[in-house]
Chain A
Amino acid sequence: MEIDWSVIPGFLPQLAAGARVTILIALAGLVGGTILGLIAGLMRAYGGRVLNAIAFIYIELIRGTPIVVQVMFLYFAMPVLTGLRVDPMTAAILAIVVNAGAYIAEIVRGAFLSIPRGLTEAGLAMGLPQWKVLTHIVGPLAFRRLIPPLGNQFIVSLKDTSLFIVIGVGELTRTGQEIMASNFRAVEIWTAVAVIYLILTGTLTAILRLIENRMRIL
């Protein structure tokens, strides 16, 4: 079979629709995952015994299981347990939220704890409440250290969306497979799919570089 790149433009509308779904899942999932990760990470770093234990168990449960199992659980097992059905798209977004949240929690915890203890003490010693020390002193410093590993996790999560093929979400990889099923142009289609992923991750990397350069790294 001859390789014929001219077939790609015909598939582009379909691939673009798949990419849009991928972006939507990643975006919604990562916004939620970052918020969840921030909360769980701060619970790990500053919470009392109980909050710390809750966050710890959550993080270990997620880190110890594959994301495919997590999304299968959310999509197939949760309805049985709770009686609440979710559509594949919701399950996919929730899976990214929960999964990225656990990894981001560890990143957040590490970044906050890497800020010298003396700075917190200096803030407390002048009579600031702990939360103001976190928001005004430690937080801004930790944020700078957060960006590189956070960017890495964003890229991992973006690519993880391709695994939601297992619950039939029409994201980019699934779209590629559907096109394949009706015509067998494997090289052309999977090259096009790969290039679209590269454009997405490349854009993300470029944005993160920009943010990093904007901040004075201390």
Chain B
Amino acid sequence: MSIIEFHQTSKHFGDLKVLDEVDLSIEQGEVVVLIGPSGSGKSTLLRCINGLEQITGGDLIVDGISVREGGRQLRRIRQEAGMVFQQFNLFPQMTALQNVAFGPRKVRGLGRAEAEAQALELLDKVGLKERAHHVPSALSGGQQQRVAIARALAVRPKVMLFDEPTSALDPELKQEVLTVMRQLAQEGMTMVVVTHEMGFARQVGTRLIFMEHGKISVDGNPVEVITNPPSDRLKDFLQHVE
């Protein structure tokens, strides 16, 4: 069974069709890199997986549960699919440690001591153990995004969804985030990543998907697709991002 299955999935915003009958299956252990022009529906596709956007047609099954179920079932999906946002979205009133411990405590019901011990381990893993007691505003963008990754991992998801995780970062801060993501992929985490970092796509991606107008127009091996773009529009697109 695939971990994520799109079946003729559509998403409309009013009259605007943003996802157009998408069929897509993602297996455990895949690192899927999603690229495409602005407005092609990449974020929407990602946000349908964890139900931040409601699909309007077809079905979408995550870890055996349909996103259409809503309520408690949707919350189960969200625990299995962690998300990292472009703008980090750390809770500003909490320290890095509290941010990371928050999910285990409030979602998984862990005690404070246990949750914070696990949080410290995760912060160590993203290289921020010594920043544990800093609030987000005292951290650099790259550090904030690494805390956000640790926060998502703390809920113990099976899949990680990344929506342009390095787009809000200065070039010199992108690498520290990409390094953490690369490490995560090496550990076998299933990942769906919207990014324009083609180096990451080539080295880490197991699959590259090019979206246009709410449809998947190219789906293949990253190295092959980047070296030999099967469509002119993808070729154009690649020239613009690299």
Contact = CB atoms under 8 A, between A and B. Distances in A.
A127 B107 CA distance: 6
B202 interface: no
Interface in A99-148: 116, 118-119, 121-129, 132, 136-137, 140-141
Contacts of A137: 91
A126 B155 CA distance: 7
Interface in B43-89: 50, 52, 75-76, 78-79, 81-83, 85, 87, 89
B29 to A, nearest CB: 22
Interface in A62-85: none
A3 interface: no
Q: Is the interface of A mostly helix, strand, loop or mixed?
A: helix
A181 interface: no
B130 to A, nearest CB: 22
Contacts of A216: 93
Contact of A140 (B81, B93, B102, B137): B93
Contact of B78 (A119, A124, A136): A124
B22 interface: no
A218 interface: yes
Contacts of B75: 127-129
Contacts of A123: 91
A114 B106 CA distance: 24
A126 B85 contact: no
Contacts of B152: 125-126
B205 interface: no
Contact of B106 (A119, A125, A132, A218): A132
Contacts of B79: 126-127
B76 A122 contact: no
B52 A124 contact: yes
B165 interface: no
Contact of A121 (B52, B137, B151): B52
Contact of A122 (B81, B85, B106, B137): B85
26 contacts: A118-B85, A118-B87, A119-B89, A119-B91, A121-B83, A121-B89, A122-B85, A122-B89, A122-B151, A123-B91, A124-B78, A125-B50, A125-B81, A125-B82, A125-B152, A126-B83, A126-B102, A126-B151, A127-B79, A127-B103, A128-B75, A128-B103, A128-B106, A132-B106, A141-B92, A218-B137
Interface of B: 50, 52, 75-76, 78-79, 81-83, 85, 87, 89-93, 102-103, 106-107, 137, 148, 151-152, 155
Interface of A: 116, 118-119, 121-129, 132, 136-137, 140-141, 216, 218
